[in-house]
Amino acid sequence: MIVVVIIGLLAAIAIPALQRVQRRTQATRFISDLRTFAQAFDTYALENGVWPGNAGSGVVPPGMSDQISTTAWTATNTLGGRWNWDENRFGVVASVSTTGVTATVADMLAIDAQIDDGDLATGRFRSASGRYLWVLE
């Protein structure tokens, strides 16, 4: 009986720690993908003199199939959302965004604190109309 109680206590301690590590891993992968996509769009704009046209959620923008991994762009990202390219929307010229994330606002604030200013209303990483944007211009 004592052994079962000890195992239960250890599990109660280990599960929250495991969940924190899992959230951090998901956030790190999300940030890495976000930066990779942003760099690809920047490269496209430098090579072509314009940003690619607007595209829907999970749809590879015109001319970007050689620049980004189609599989990574169209798949659900690590935060449960879909990648999206926004041109001239939400008050910015160009942004990589994600829609439909299942992460909490606290998780998104933690991501913002890692890559920007920690405020989802300002800076390069923002929240707008149910999506999270990484502003390129």
pLDDT in tens, 42-90: 999 999 999 999 988 999 999 999 999 999 999 999 999 999 999 999 9
Residues in CB range of 30: below 8 A, 6 or more apart: 77, 78, 79, 98, 111
Model confidence at 128, pLDDT cuts 50, 70, 90, reads very high
Task: Give which of 89, 97, 109, 101 is closest to 34, Cα–Cα.
Answer: 97
Span 106-116, mean pLDDT?
96
Span 1-22, mean pLDDT?
87
Between CA 79 and CA 17 the distance in angstroms is: 19
Instruction: Give the pLDDT of residue 5.
Output: 87
Q: What mean pLDDT value characterizes the chain? A: 93
- Single pTM value for the model: 0.87
Instruction: Give the pLDDT of residue 20.
Output: 87
Q: Kindly state the helix (H) or strand (E) to which residue 132 belongs, with its residue range.
A: strand 131-135
Instruction: Give the pLDDT of residue 96.
Output: 97
Query: Residues 96, 85: contact at Cβ < 8 Å?
Result: yes
Instruction: Give the pLDDT of residue 17.
Output: 86
Q: Which of left, alpha, beta for 49 (phi over 0: left; psi -120 to 50: alpha)?
A: left
Instruction: Give the pLDDT of residue 21.
Output: 87
For residue 11, pLDDT over 90 is answered with no
Q: Kindly state the helix (H) or strand (E) to which residue 87 belongs, with its residue range.
A: strand 82-89
